[in-house]
Amino acid sequence: MRILFIGDVVGRSGRAIVQDRLPGLVRDWKLDLVVLNGENAAGGFGITEAIFNEFLDAGVDAVTLGNHAWDQREALVFIERAPKLIRPINYPQGTPGRGAAMVEARNGAQVLVINAMGRIFLDPLDDPFAAVERELAACALKRDADAIVIDIHAEVTSEKQAMGHFADGRASLVVGTHTHAPTADHQILPGGTAFMSDAGMTGDYDSVIGMVKDEPLSRFLRRIPSGKFEAATGAPTLCGIAVETDDATGLARSVSAVRLGARLEEARPVFWD
């Protein structure tokens, strides 16, 4: 099975490259499943129902979220009728939506997608490791799902790497999101799980983590807010990770960084071309 995970989509620029490039990637790379982190899709802050539906129309099969999940208040409502929109699983009981969803891939396979959020330097939610453990115990790889993808939305690399090793051998892919800078540590862990500390941002890299540079610079230099953060709208780059799994085990056979677009050095799974 061929899986593409797309890192945090930021604002209009990020959405535009997904709509422009993804249909061709699905066709040319023969993708079976596309998962995208969309928590910054609405101007950098949250997601709307219209944007969520745009992603589905472009070929996305599941959308994960993170600490900006509820910045657009409508998300608290429409998430209940959007089974492919997945918020962090370790939100307290009673939070709208779901933290995991079974998604049917294009080849008919059943894929469990889990979203968890770290606790270091972020809101102290419930234990993400305990929440993921419950989900993996209830839905085991190959017994109950043909593949399992975990998006660990966290601030620090150590927490993301710990989640990778925690789920190694029990998930097809564990990938970090949130910090908006693609890491160079994509690998297959000893137990067969593909891992990357951060998939990177899909948006304008002539920015400060996707935001127009002036306001972040002002706050760093003067420690005083002078305006709102606004998503940068320049030429975008699509970043993520591509994984091919073994149909017999659900574990990873190959893993490659993906960088397509304006500013970063291009990377693609050449063995799929």
H-helix or E-strand containing 64?
strand 62-64
C-alpha distances out from residue 187 to 61, 164, 177, 269, Å? 24, 11, 16, 13
How is residue 223 written in tokens? 């420690």
How is residue 98 written in tokens? 């779901």
3-state secondary structure 224-244: CCCCCCCECCCCCEEEEEEEE
| Residue 180 annotated as catalytic | no
Question: Which is catalytic among the residues 68, 153, 178, 186?
Answer: 68
Strands 85-86, 62-64: parallel, antiparallel or unpaired by DSSP? parallel
Q: Are 102 and 149 in contact (CB under 8 A)?
A: no
Residues classed as catalytic: 68
